[in-house]
Amino acid sequence: MAAVVDVDSHVYEPPEIWDRYVPEQFRALARSAFYHEVDDEGNRLTIVNGAPGAELNRSRLVRQAIWRPGMTVDDVGALDPDQYVPINPGAYDPAARVADMDAMGVDLAVVFPTLFNEYLPLVENPEAAAALAHGYNDWIWDFAAQTQGRVHPVAILPMHSVLLARRELDRVAEKGFTSVVIRPAFYTTSTIEGHSQRDQMARAMADAMRQGLGGAEWSPRHFVETAPFRDVWRHVDELGLVACVHPSLGITGPDAISSGAFAERVSHRLGVPHTIAEPIAHMQDADLFVTSALFHGLLEDFPTLRLAIVHAGTSWVPLALEKSETYLWLSPQFATAFVCLEPEEVWERQPLIVSFDSWEESVGIMPDRLGDKAAWGSRYPNHDASGPVEAREMLEANGVDAAMADRLLGGNAADLFRLQVPVG
Amino acid sequence: MDRLTKSYPVFDCDAHINDPEQIWDYVPESQKELVRNTYWRGDAEAWLNGDTPVMGGGNAHFPGYNPICIAGPQMNKKIMRKLNSMPLTAEQKAYVHHDGAIDARARLGEMDLMGIDQVLVIPTMVIMHVPFATNAEGVDAFCQAYNNFVADWCSEEPSRIFAAAFLPAQDAGYTAKEIHRAAELGLPVGLIRPIDAQAKYPNAAAPSMMANGEYDQVFRAFEETGMVLGMHTFPAPNYPHPLGRDYLASPGELFNRAGIDSQTFSFVHEMQVWLSQVLLSGLLDRYPNLKMAVFESNAEWLPYTLKTCDRLFKLYARERGSKGDRLPSEAFHEQCVISFESDETGVFRQWKQFQRIGIWASDAYHHDGADSWSAMRNMTECGVPDDVQADLLGGNARRFYGIEGKLFVTDEAPPIDRPDWFPQGPALDEWAEIVAHPREHAEQMREMGLDPMSLLEDTSGVAAGKGLA
């Protein structure tokens, strides 16, 4: 059996990042812009922009770091929501992490932030965001260094400023990172007005839509795939890094940042006692990113850019390609770049993967359609995590052959990330 | 290509009319001014709340063809793209306009060509604008007029044409009343759009911190009448939200703000938000006799979403409000159906998961619409058994609506004899190959006047309007 690569796992960021890793001169600023801590009884402190921040959880359970190898969904469901369950040490301690990976049967894990992915886009001060990213990146680098090459660290970028994002890109590439995470969200960022045909058309279209569809003013945020950020994507490509597009639940900010907030807000009227954004938010943000990239020509502009789209499942991909194709053909006024009207061709030739979940049966039913670009991810230590055994069983139950299962459980990811997989 | 035949009736569960101007003739004289100040349209203009000009779907809004009335028999996206690049004469515009969007008699002929035996019709720009009308009394009067109109419209051929009622969702009391009245008119479905127009998302079934539970009477009215709750989504608007510019009425607005045609995913995302709430809140357990149809939101995403909801149902076993033990996927299969379109091969590949809940829709005459013959071809290619095709293409919808099936069309029509100017044949294919790969054919694109800047000049004035069909 080939090596297993978990392409979507997480840490739960400890206070040590703020106390030791954020550059000293920025610590007070950074802590005021965003800070999070949980005490031994589950009491939480979350600060965003100098004020109490919204929480990801409503009960005492910290569901983003609760799962441990061997737990079933029923085990998690049986936990008392009024009783604090300590955070899984594997979420912040390298030795515990490796032990959990051994227990799961995972040879190598690509590791993403949890809190920083959720909260960093909310930070208003670009310099504080850059200091926070710097702190996280140095901490996860040291974390990975203590795992005998089993953890592949991914650096986060301060997308609040193209200048600062590029500067951090250079720094982490120099340090040795080969992957960065970019959340598909809207960021407040400084912009430079372009004068190319494409820029002029994009502005004209935006004005036409804003006026023609009801006239509301938009908040000064820009989607991370659009023109203001083009230099960041270019630089990721130039440096030869993998761009990991990782959505977050997105329920702690306003609607205009990412998809989860709208669902969460309107569901309050129905009185649902827990988040309802979870089954859809990540998928919707991934839809938005891919559709935006196809309409704006990101993949055609950077055909060597390596992309990993994670934590959103992969079932949405064929529909995203099909919908993009339909409206690229039917709505020429939106094609503000010379873009291919057959997105499937663009998709197929781009070096990219999309993570899938163990319970995502469509991958097993349609391996010919999804298998070349799919790569398994655990979501460890989120409460909905699963192990590779469950994924392999699902694939086998649907008749996927062993060679394809090996590709899905590790091979595709190892190729994209160019991983040297240690086989235990 | 061999012409197909069929031996079962096809029911098109979601096709559209283009909100004929006769609707407003059904408004009683005493309410005409009220409705005029709520939502009104002519061919060249439309008004919301009496003071906001909007795109109402009339032909005069479009310099070229009307995308709301274009996708009829034997049309496809290549033809439409080509037509989009051509200056059309009045005669040519009339030729590509499908009158069945307005006229019931014309509709029957077009249904014959599209392999559609029976249809449920749904309005168009009404769904876009009316949720944002501020006078609930005016909306109620408009909805009554619309429902009276459409009931009469169906009488042209009552065994073939059925219609969904449009409901005044701004006010739950008016909505509950109109459900009962529309059911009496014989309309099998009542439409609600799941958006946060005017910060009143239509979900407050029980009192909570955020709402007074007024929608309980609406869901009960659906149960009492047996009318199907039809959730119908639409492209994203851009009306101001009461909470400010960081807040949205539709999740599809993020696509507008990213500079993308929201038609790509606004439909899907609006429905996903609705459905995740319905499934994780236990709403279907609270209303066990409620029947819900999920319209125009595609279906390929459903199996994964149901699986994920089932997991979350268990993961939140001690936090969720619903204490029942029926899984979300079970509730959906027992009380819901979902529409799919002819090109959804992912649905066909996973047909076992849709064979009792999938209902086919043409979406005619909106520009992404398609006929039943193309659905049959795609299903056959994906290995969907014939009996399952019959259920997906009609049996499931008829069972759900309680409508008797009648077969009117058995043979696919031969190719329509088109005028010379109409895009067709090898010339169209060659042209389409060039425009589909513009970077490989940049010089030819410019020679043909199809560089992006010339497209912009042609269409910027109506760009937003074209994004609405």
pLDDT (tens digit, 9 = 90+) per residue, B437-448? 999 998 888 888
pLDDT (tens digit, 9 = 90+) per residue, A155-213? 999 999 999 999 999 999 999 999 999 999 999 988 888 887 777 877 887 888 788 78
State residue B465's pLDDT score: 42
- Average pLDDT, whole number, for chain A? 95
Residue B460 has pLDDT above 70, yes or no: no
**Confidence band for B467, pLDDT divided at 50, 70 and 90:** very low
Q: Please tell me the distance in Å from B140's CA to the nearest CA on chain A.
A: 22
State residue B141's pLDDT score: 98
What average pLDDT does the segment A259-263 reach? 98
> Does A349 lie at the interface with B, CB-CB under 8 angstroms?
no
What average pLDDT does the segment B310-318 reach? 96
Q: Are B445 and B451 in contact (CB under 8 A)?
A: yes
Question: Per the confidence metrics, is the pTM higher than 0.80?
Answer: yes
Chain A neighbours among B 347-366 (CB < 8 Å)?
Answer: 349-350
State residue B210's pLDDT score: 61
**Confidence band for B321, pLDDT divided at 50, 70 and 90:** confident
State residue B452's pLDDT score: 56
pLDDT (tens digit, 9 = 90+) per residue, A83-130? 999 999 999 999 999 999 999 999 999 999 999 999 999 999 999 999
State residue B208's pLDDT score: 67
> Does A291 lie at the interface with B, CB-CB under 8 angstroms?
yes
Q: Please tell me the distance in Å from B282's CA to the nearest CA on chain A.
A: 9
Is there a contact between A255 and B247 if contact means CB atoms under 8 Å apart? yes
Identify the burial level of B113 via C-beta atoms within 10 angstroms of its C-beta, where 0-12 means exposed, 13-18 middle and 19 or more buried: middle
Which of A252, A265, A269 would you mutate first to test chain B, the one with the most B CBs within 10 A? A269
Is this complex scored with an ipTM above 0.90?
yes
Distance CA B164, CA B169 (A): 14
> Does B76 lie at the interface with A, CB-CB under 8 angstroms?
no
State residue A126's pLDDT score: 97
> Does A214 lie at the interface with B, CB-CB under 8 angstroms?
yes
Q: Which residue of A has its CA nearest to B239?
A: A214
> Does A264 lie at the interface with B, CB-CB under 8 angstroms?
no
| SS3 of residue A48 by DSSP | strand
Sheet holding B46-48, edge to edge: B39-41, B46-48, B52-54
State residue A401's pLDDT score: 96
The tally of CA atoms less than 13 A away on the side-chain side of residue B371 is 22
What average pLDDT does the segment B346-357 reach? 97
Is there a contact between B463 and A208 if contact means CB atoms under 8 Å apart? yes
Residue A148 has pLDDT above 70, yes or no: yes
State residue B447's pLDDT score: 84
Locus of tokens 């701004």: B170
**A352 pairs with which residues across the strands?**
A307
List b or e across B65-95, with b for residues whose CB sees 16 or more CB atoms inside 10 angstroms. Answer: bbbbbbbbbbbebbbbbbbbbeebeeebbee
Distance CA A251, CA A263 (A): 8
> Does A418 lie at the interface with B, CB-CB under 8 angstroms?
no
Q: Which residues of B touch A337 (CB under 8 A)?
A: 452
> Does B55 lie at the interface with A, CB-CB under 8 angstroms?
yes
- Return phi, psi of residue B209, to 5°: -60, -30
**Confidence band for B454, pLDDT divided at 50, 70 and 90:** low
The DSSP output letter for A56 is S
What average pLDDT does the segment A293-308 reach? 96
Q: Please tell me the distance in Å from A330's CA to the nearest CA on chain B.
A: 6
Task: Say if strands A44-48 and B11-16 run parallel, antiparallel, or are unpaired.
Answer: unpaired
- For residue B195, give the nearest of B235, B163, B139, B149 by alpha carbon: B235
State residue B468's pLDDT score: 40
What average pLDDT does the segment B420-442 reach? 94
Is there a contact between B319 and A81 if contact means CB atoms under 8 Å apart? yes
pLDDT (tens digit, 9 = 90+) per residue, A365-418? 999 989 899 999 999 999 999 999 999 999 999 999 999 999 999 999 999 999
> Does A194 lie at the interface with B, CB-CB under 8 angstroms?
no
Q: Which stretches of B25-157 are DSSP H helices? A: 32-36, 77-84, 90-96, 104-114, 125-129, 136-154
Tokens at A91, concatenated: 């979420």
- Average pLDDT, whole number, for chain B? 93
What average pLDDT does the segment B220-248 reach? 96
Is there a contact between B268 and A319 if contact means CB atoms under 8 Å apart? yes
Element (H, E) at A162: helix A162-175
Is there a contact between A73 and B368 if contact means CB atoms under 8 Å apart? no
Chain A neighbours among B 194-223 (CB < 8 Å)?
Answer: 196, 201, 203-211
What average pLDDT does the segment B105-132 reach? 97
* % of chain B surpassing 90 pLDDT: 87
Residue B329 has pLDDT above 80, yes or no: yes
Is there a contact between B281 and A271 if contact means CB atoms under 8 Å apart? yes
Q: Are B332 and B292 in contact (CB under 8 A)?
A: no
What average pLDDT does the segment B399-405 reach? 97
State residue A33's pLDDT score: 98
> Does B259 lie at the interface with A, CB-CB under 8 angstroms?
yes
State residue A134's pLDDT score: 98
Say which range, A98-102, A329-333, B75-79, has the weakest mean pLDDT: A329-333
